[in-house]
Amino acid sequence: MRDFLVSRRLFGLRRGLVVLTACLLSTSATGYSQLVVFGDSLSDSGQFPDPERLLLGELGSLRFTNREGPTYRAPSPYGEVSTQRLADALGLEPLLPSTSVIRDQLGLPDGTNYATGGYTTDDIVGSITEVEGSVVSRSGLTLRTRDGYLIENDRADPKALYYVNGGGNDFLDGLVTQPADAIESADTLAMGIDALAAAGAQTIMVSNLPDVGDSPAGLVSGQRDAFSALVDVYNQALGERLARYDGRIDIIRLDVAGLFDEVTASPDEFGLATDIPLSDVCFSDPVCDTSAYGLASGSPDPSRLLFHDTVHPTTAGQEILADYAYALIAAPQWLALGGELTASSLAAQQQAMASELRPGQQSDGVRLFVQGEQHWDDNRGYVDDPRLEATHRAAAVGAVVPVGRGWLGMAVAQREASLDAPMDTELDGQVFSLFTRQQVGRLGVQAIASRGSFDLDLQRRVVLGLASRTLEGATEGDGWAGDLRLDYRLTDSDSPWYNAPFIGYRHIEADVEGYREQGSAANALLVSGQSVTDRQAEIGFLVDRAPLGGLGFFAEVAGGRYLDETREGAEVRLAALPTNRWSGEDRKRENENYLRLDTGLRLRLGDFTVQAGGGVQGWGEAATHVQLSAGFNF
């Protein structure tokens, strides 16, 4: 079988395997400093020269996927592999090969992709830990060597994302023939992960091994069933080794085997051919180029096929894999929006109740009121994506009674909120509020406390090449909020005007229970419970005129600061491979400061009062709200 693979073209394109996927390529970049890759040909971004282009007098790099159209032949360059696409999606620099012969000859800088076609798990570990461990060779001829990553760098970059895949060549080279060999192979790959973790790596993405048997190479070898059984042993052993890092560092598991099954089960959704066995045919290798879409046909179309050659994916498969990987990286950030929506609902409640405590709104008797309001929230600044906007709606009833030198009130509100694509979240529930205002000479003291309980329905949309999946979850959330505000009245006590500078503080604690997503088996996540703390302080000035003569007015302007600058992502596990959790990079608020302006009118007709107002809050991107309340004084 090794002879068959070596004869596959001039460089013997072999190894690596398709893995497929899901996700959300449309989100903004995450906060990783760089992508560092270790693996085999599945991730190789151009270590070897392209011999066919060299024969035509052009320089180019070989990658283990199909060439670009329209001819799909030299001198057209090879398409990008999944790791290159992933780097682009993360907003990082282009993912360049670490030990490229061509780049070395041209005096160009090396990159951080150590993955090399033909690497076994031993070779992958060498590219991490050994002197001259990054070796680019073919048929016994060494083209270039370079020290392994940790030899050159000593310490791992804690802000980098590390990507490790491998093991396929151990099978294809005949190194794995029994369960003990599969366990040893998985343990070897895990040794590379051990070294990265010991050197300070904090986030490592690890792919399990797709079913080598369910590929054209498996078919040609005649060992399909044996390969498939041993792949299961390998993946089980790898998961057991990775479990030791649970809770210590972020290990992002990729279930490429499960993704492969999902793609082949519904090829039409991915734009792939439905009239051929995708695991038996390929695009360019004469051994398996037997379909109407292959390179030898009159109308080649690699986008309809899963395999480029006997083991490597076409660019269609590479895109699916990149989407899948990016979706799992981005998931903690999106899933954390459930906690943000809960906290922002409590913040909206506090703002609504504060309007019922305005000095000019009060009377000497009992006041019953009804209130309706709507907020358009800018997702509270932790996710930089213009598509995200939360809408809050509420209806409340309450009462305010004179107590001491001020008033005491209570209210209950039915609240709803929604957050649209790409993370669709619906929230509804009740919030109970108790609030008071007391006047001590010129000093005004105002306090609001609220407690709420909510039901949340969440939908996470995952794009997989041309296909998409919707992951659904349902859970509950609750929380409390407290406001304290002090003002100093500048006008006389008998004046209808209440003008005062003020300072205020708000504290919110919100919790969301854990849940399991339902939908795509390869993508579904176990989402842990979330806790959100949101604090802000502000200083401002208010102008309030009681409705003497029937018409009143209020306005206030404030500048504030959010006291919580960063937020952790939701902690998640892949449901299919639950050995490890990750939460991704912390999210930093885009703007720590904000400006707020609220204004409105009130109308009094006898014992009946109507107040209408609105406002904006933000810095750059602004959240807006409108509000209408009606009260009757006894």
- Coil, strand or helix: which one is 300? coil
Q: In whole angstroms, give the CA distance from residue 98 to residue 91.
A: 19
pLDDT attached to residue 591:
82
Q: Tell me the HSE value of 311 on the side-chain side, using a 13 A CA sphere.
A: 36
Model pLDDT, residue 514: 98
Domain definitions of the chain by residue range: 2-17+32-48+80-272, 353-633
pLDDT at 388: 67
Query: What span, in angstroms and rounded, lies between the C-alpha atoms of 76 and 61?
Result: 11
Q: Cα separation of 465 and 154, whole Å?
A: 38
Q: Which of 134, 170, 211, 312 is catalytic?
A: 312
In terms of Cα–Cα distance, which of 599, 136, 625 is closest to 376?
Answer: 625
Give the CA angle between residues 584, 590, 591 to the nearest 5°. Answer: 145
Amino acid identity, residue 338? Answer: G
Q: CA 532 to CA 542: how far, in whole Å?
A: 30
Which pLDDT score is estimated for 385? 57
Question: Would you call the peptide bond into 496 cis, given omega within 30 degrees of 0 as the criterion?
Answer: no
- Residue 377, both tokens: 């929230």
Cβ neighbours of residue 217 under 8 Å, at least 6 residues apart?
Answer: 1, 5, 14, 172, 310, 311
Q: How far apart are CA 510 and CA 491, in angstroms?
A: 39
Burial-class residue 187 by CB neighbours within 10 Å (0-12, 13-18, 19+): middle
The secondary structure of 154-168 as a DSSP string is SS--TTSEEEE---H
Instruction: For 601, list phi and psi in degrees, rounded to 5.
Output: -125, 155
3-class SS at 121? Answer: helix
Q: Within 13 Å of residue 4, how many CA atoms lie on the same side as its CB?
A: 19
Q: What is the CATH number of domain 2-17+32-48+80-272?
A: 3.40.50.1110
Q: What is the structure's pLDDT at 379? A: 52
Residue 312 among the catalytic residues: yes
Which residues are registered as beta bridge partners of 593? 561
Alpha-carbon span 175 to 177, nearest angstrom = 6
DSSP-based three-state secondary structure for 546: coil
Residue with tokens 């035509």: 56
Averaged over successive runs of 10 residues, the pLDDT of the chain (634 residues) comes to 33 32 39 96 97 93 97 97 97 97 95 98 98 94 97 96 98 96 98 98 97 94 95 98 96 96 96 96 96 95 98 98 97 92 95 93 90 80 62 96 93 94 88 96 97 97 95 98 98 94 98 96 97 96 91 96 89 97 84 93 92 91 91 90
Is the bond preceding residue 422 a cis peptide, omega within 30 degrees? Answer: yes
Amino acid at 133: G
Q: Which residues of 315-419 form beta strands (DSSP E)? A: 367-377, 390-403, 406-419
- Compute the 3-state secondary structure of the chain and give helix, strand, coil in percent, each to the nearest 5: 25, 40, 40
Farthest CA pair distance, the chain: 100
Set 44, 50, 123, 309: catalytic member:
309
Residue 452 structure tokens: 């709420």
- Of the residues 41, 134, 303, 583, only one is catalytic, namely 41
Active site residue 41: yes
Tokens found for residue 404: 């001491």
Identify the pLDDT of residue 422.
63
Cα torsion through 106, 109, 110, 111, rounded to 10: -130
d(CA 144, CA 624) in angstroms, rounded, equals 60
User: For residue 632, how many other CB atoms are within 10 A of its CB?
Assistant: 14
Instruction: Give one word for 405, left, alpha or beta, with left for phi > 0 and alpha for psi -120 to 50.
Output: alpha
- From 453, 501, 452, select the one nearest 353 (Cα to Cα): 452
Residue 276, classed as helix, strand or coil, is coil
The angle formed by the CA atoms of residues 506, 510 and 515, to the nearest 5 degrees, is 165
Domain 353-633 fold is Lipocalin (2.40.128)
Query: Is 122 among the residues known to form the active site?
Result: no
Residue 48 per-residue DSSP state: S
If one counts every other C-beta atom within 10 angstroms of the C-beta of residue 328, the result is 25
User: Which token pair is 290?
Assistant: 């037997």
Residue type, 529: G
Check residue 421 and give its pLDDT: 62
pLDDT at 17: 32
Structural contact between residues 226 and 213, judged by C-beta atoms closer than 8 angstroms: yes
The pTM of the full predicted model, rounded to 2 decimals, is 0.89
Taking the CA atoms of residue 230, residue 233, residue 234 and residue 237 in that order, the dihedral angle to the nearest 10 degrees is -170
